[in-house]
Amino acid sequence: MTMTGNGTHGHVPVLRERVAELLRPAVVDAGDDAVIIDGTLGAGGHSEYLLTVFPGVRVIGLDRDPLALEQATDRLKPFGDRFRGLHTRFDRFVSAVDSDDSEPCSVVRRHGVAGALFDLGVSSMQLDQAERGFAYSKDAPLDMRMDPTSGITAADILNTYGHGELAHVLKTYGDERFAGKIASAVLREREKAPFTTSGRLVELLYATIPAAARRTGGHPAKRTFQALRVEVNGELDSVAAVVPAITHELRVGGRAVFMAYQSLEDRIVKKALTELTTSRSPKGLPMDLPGTAPEFRLVTRGAEKAPRHEIEDNPRAAPVRVRAVERIAQSNGETR
């Protein structure tokens, strides 16, 4: 996720200095073998900054959006073969890296990952492209796919899900108080004509959500649009899958940074990192039993937030929660 500013390509990445600070010890420790995986490449702002502040590092950028990948790769051409972009969902990066013959991927196969960043959620670039249907402020096709070449759309969900399925999505992924009422309204309206554009859905939400509730909590469409986007892209499944995937690939001394913008994502990351950094020995023992000591340690204390000045420059940075973990040991038998 990026913030609007005066930087190159009109975007300055959220917390770019803090991200670099968190990754620096891992990059220094890895030396000439340092490779960072930018799991959410987007416009390429974080990758550009990391390639600039760490002159010897290589970066592998991942994105499921082919247009974003193309544009970011073009932006990062000045860095030559120090950057490699791969079209893949971030939790499937292992197979993508293993099948690529570029130098950064070869280094990862030999030495493991030194650093990783996952800036979760929809990017500003996608929000700014009205035709993608992510933003409720503009009438557009109800698509919301981060990879527009595959998968179901938001319109498919609205036009085919049963009442219970739709209400569950709205309640679970959007924390929508009126999930059942909205689902009933959607089913009634789609009998007249299928949903195709965001404008019609926004009108339905204004008509369905009580006026008193609309006056608080931001735009009345915010929660529904978030829920649909998460369902369309399987975002929470991807987050749950990527934490064990990336931590398994970290070299000793390697670090992974996760930036979450909604509580559902942050809870998944927090739970996974807690499990990774907790001893498996029975409580009360003076020391860890052999093979039970944690292989990772938390780098951040709880979830870090964006500083006030960054939030003032861009309100999109307000909900960010940052957590980082470092690998401190390696299991016997692991090759990298």
The residues, any chain, with a CB within 8 Å of residue 58's CB and separated by 6 or more, are: 34, 35, 36, 82, 83, 84, 103, 104, 107
* 63 in a labelled binding site: yes
Compute the CA torsion angle 103, 65, 125, 5 (nearest 10 deg): -10
Contact 116, 58 (CB under 8 A): no
CB atoms within 10 A of CB 162: 10
Q: Is 45 annotated as a binding residue?
A: yes
Coil, strand or helix at 77: helix
d(CA 48, CA 13): 10
> What does R_g of the chain's alpha carbons equal in angstroms?
21
Q: In this structure, what token pair is assigned to residue 10?
A: 């009109």
Is 46 labelled a binding residue? Answer: yes
Q: Are 67 and 58 in contact (CB under 8 A)?
A: no
Which helix (H) or strand (E) segment holds residue 71: the answer is: helix 66-75
Residue ranges with strand state E in the chain: 2-4, 11-13, 35-38, 58-63, 83-87, 113-119, 250-260, 296-298, 321-327
Here the tokens at position 181 are: 């009422």
Q: Annotation-wise, does 119 bind a ligand?
A: yes
Instruction: Establish whether 90 is an annotated binding residue.
Output: yes
Which tokens in the block code for residue 130?
């009205």
Q: Which of 168, 187, 289, 186 has its CA nearest to residue 236?
A: 168
Tell me the C-alpha distance between 317 and 201, whole Å: 27
Q: What is the Cα–Cα distance from 55 to 37, expressed in whole angstroms?
A: 15
Alpha carbon distances (Å) from 180 to 133, 142, 191, 270, 290: 23, 21, 17, 30, 51
Could you tell me which residues are annotated as the binding site for S-adenosyl-L-methionine?
44-46, 63, 90, 119, 126
Could you tell me which residues are annotated as the binding site?
44-46, 63, 90, 119, 126
